[in-house]
């Protein structure tokens, strides 16, 4: 930006500017935090069951290993280049993420956490120069205090800030911060950018746009937004507005209350019987219900799903079914009983089930709701008793070693649902007292 300091437009005060703070290969960076010896080595993080690649260091990207690649396809490569592999350690990543977000919140007024490794910062009434300096300041703080490298994109809309952060990440001369204000620079970059790489335009939409000869972001920028809205959706129209730098279009909800809680897993060894599926699903349900109580929320709708593997020639079956409650609840007993009943209705024998899951949705913060004329009110005592029991359950399960199960979860739940394969797991450096590294 130094070279554009003479540009008169930079004296302008902008009403609103977005900074996208994006952690560089976040999971890998988290692992490296406690293993500085891995700084220049190829490192990757694997999905559940150590199935496929979900995070790559730049050295791994340079080997041409794509996101989501199954491990068995690249085994030789991993050995040949002595790639260091980790099972995913989400407790660690979430903890580091929280530290970063709290740090940002301590430095600026408006932070919108977008994902585990990204946050938008909103600045109001600033000059482009001020926005750029603020971005540099935040980058330095995160890297010095937490130790995770970040890239920051600065622009007048979220979509442009995303594009700017990608520039910051991929062009070394920018040193991790890029402010995309100059119209000529914008046009130049949008010309280079394939339409499918824009935030919000996935594979399907990209194919359809290309059929209309819209191949680059610049072509979308100049396209007839109203016609495309008619033909596709309001979402695409918003994206076009954002490309043009109009803000407040993709507004994130200011106080996002979570809308659903999901718990699902693939099974390393396929499940066949209703009993095994039931025990797996009940374990997921118990986890999801505990999460629900942690968030102090209640659910009114429970959905389960089961399916065979996409990747085999075997006969396929997939099904999902929901049930809604008259009263919002967070009681594991009610949720588990709903799950077993739903399963008996969709289970079909003779299939090799590869994946199952549960979703709790229609979430509310209280159990109070409009009284249903035909449903008798639960007594206050009933509710209290349920709350107390669930609190006790959560305390027991949180305490180290103790695990309390319902009968439906089966005798040895860790053998099925929780029986995920994580041979390469790093220690829980920050969240488990026993595994705090000895740094001195």
Partner DNA sequence: TCTGGGGTCCTAGGACCC
Residues contributing to the site for DNA (CB under 7 A)? 47-49, 51-52, 54, 67-68, 70, 72, 114-118, 162, 198-206, 233-235, 253, 256, 258-266, 268, 291, 309, 311-312, 320, 322, 324, 354-355, 357, 420
CB of 62 to DNA, least distance (A): 20
CB of 129 to DNA, least distance (A): 27
Instruction: Please identify, using beta-carbon distances, which residue of 210 and 340 lies nearer to DNA.
Output: 210
- DSSP state for residue 401 in the 8-state scheme: S
Instruction: Please identify, using beta-carbon distances, which residue of 203 and 213 lies nearer to DNA.
Output: 203
Q: Which residue has the tokens 């359950």?
A: 393
CB of 73 to DNA, least distance (A): 8
Instruction: Please identify, using beta-carbon distances, which residue of 1 and 329 lies nearer to DNA.
Output: 329
Residue 50 region, left (φ>0) first, then alpha (ψ -120 to 50), else beta?
Answer: left
Instruction: Please identify, using beta-carbon distances, which residue of 84 and 292 lies nearer to DNA.
Output: 292
CB of 378 to DNA, least distance (A): 21
Instruction: Please identify, using beta-carbon distances, which residue of 309 and 340 lies nearer to DNA.
Output: 309
Instruction: Please identify, using beta-carbon distances, which residue of 90 and 392 lies nearer to DNA.
Output: 90
Task: Give the whole-angstrom CA distance, residue 189 versus residue 77.
Answer: 34
351-376: b or e for each residue (b if 16 or more CB lie within 10 Å)? Answer: bebbbbbbbbbbbeeeeeeeeeeeee
Instruction: Please identify, using beta-carbon distances, which residue of 40 and 66 lies nearer to DNA.
Output: 66
Strand partners, 123: 17
Strands (E) across 272-352 are located at 299-308, 318-329
Task: Give the whole-angstrom CA distance, residue 139 versus residue 124.
Answer: 19
Question: In sequence order, which ranges of 63-157 are alpha helices (DSSP H)?
Answer: 75-80, 90-107, 128-145
Instruction: Please identify, using beta-carbon distances, which residue of 132 and 263 lies nearer to DNA.
Output: 263
Long-range contacts of 383-392 (CB under 8 A, 24+ apart): 386/329, 386/331, 389/331, 390/289, 390/293, 390/330, 390/331, 390/332, 391/293
CB of 350 to DNA, least distance (A): 18
CB of 64 to DNA, least distance (A): 17
CB of 184 to DNA, least distance (A): 26
Q: Using alpha carbons only, what angle is made at residue 240 by residues 249 and 17, rounded to the nearest 5 degrees?
A: 45
Strand partners, 74: none
Instruction: Please identify, using beta-carbon distances, which residue of 32 and 307 lies nearer to DNA.
Output: 307
Strand partners, 86: 45
| Helix (H) / strand (E) containing 45 | strand 43-46
CB of 201 to DNA, least distance (A): 5
Task: Give the whole-angstrom CA distance, residue 104 versus residue 121.
Answer: 8
What the block records as the tokens of 336 is: 């588990």
Instruction: Please identify, using beta-carbon distances, which residue of 135 and 205 lies nearer to DNA.
Output: 205
What the block records as the tokens of 113 is: 């956490």
CB of 345 to DNA, least distance (A): 12
CB of 113 to DNA, least distance (A): 11
CB atoms within 10 A of CB 401: 5
What the block records as the tokens of 281 is: 């699903």
Please give the order of strands across the beta sheet that includes 84-87: 53-56, 43-46, 84-87
């Amino acid at each position: 930006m130094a070279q554009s300091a003479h540009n008169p437009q930079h004296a302008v005060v902008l009403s609103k500017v977005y900074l996208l703070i994006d952690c560089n290969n976040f999971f890998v960076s988290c692992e490296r935090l406690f293993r500085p010896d891995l700084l220049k080595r190829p490192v990757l993080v694997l999905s559940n069951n150590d199935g496929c690649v979900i995070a790559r260091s730049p050295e791994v990207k340079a080997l041409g290993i794509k996101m989501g690649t199954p491990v068995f396809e690249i085994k030789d490569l991993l050995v040949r280049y002595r790639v260091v592999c980790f099972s995913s350690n989400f407790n660690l990543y979430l903890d580091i993420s929280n530290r970063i977000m709290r740090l940002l919140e301590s430095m600026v007024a408006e932070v919108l956490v977008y994902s585990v490794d990204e946050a938008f910062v909103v600045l109001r009434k600033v000059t482009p120069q001020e926005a750029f300096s603020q971005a540099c300041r935040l980058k330095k703080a995160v890297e010095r205090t937490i130790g995770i490298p970040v890239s920051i994109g600065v622009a007048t809309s979220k979509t442009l800030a995303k594009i700017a952060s990608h520039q910051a990440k991929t062009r070394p001369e920018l040193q991790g911060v890029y402010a995309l204000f100059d119209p000529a620079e914008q046009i130049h970059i949008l010309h280079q950018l394939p339409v499918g790489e824009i935030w919000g335009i996935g594979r399907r939409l990209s194919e359809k746009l290309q059929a209309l000869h819209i191949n680059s972001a610049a072509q979308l920028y100049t396209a007839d937004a109203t016609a495309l809205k008619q033909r596709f959706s309001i979402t695409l129209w918003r994206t076009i507005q954002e490309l043009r730098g109009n803000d407040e279009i993709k507004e994130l909800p200011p106080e996002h209350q979570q809308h659903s809680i999901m718990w699902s897993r693939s099974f390393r060894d396929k499940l066949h019987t209703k009993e095994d599926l039931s025990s797996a699903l009940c374990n997921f349900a118990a986890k999801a219900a505990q999460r629900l109580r942690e968030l102090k929320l209640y659910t009114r709708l429970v959905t389960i799903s089961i399916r065979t593997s996409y990747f085999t020639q075997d006969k396929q079956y997939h099904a999902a079914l929901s049930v809604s409650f008259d009263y919002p609840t967070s009681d594991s007993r009610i949720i588990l009983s709903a799950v077993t009943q739903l399963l008996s209705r969709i289970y079909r024998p003779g299939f090799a089930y590869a994946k199952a899951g549960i979703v709790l949705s229609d979430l509310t913060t209280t159990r109070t709701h409009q009284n249903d004329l035909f449903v008798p009110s639960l007594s206050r005592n009933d509710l209290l008793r349920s709350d107390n029991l669930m609190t006790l359950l959560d305390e027991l399960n949180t305490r180290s070693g103790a695990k309390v199960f319902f009968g439906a979860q089966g005798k040895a739940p860790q053998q099925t649902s929780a029986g995920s394969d994580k041979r390469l797991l790093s220690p829980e450096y920050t969240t488990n007292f026993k595994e705090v590294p000895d740094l001195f």
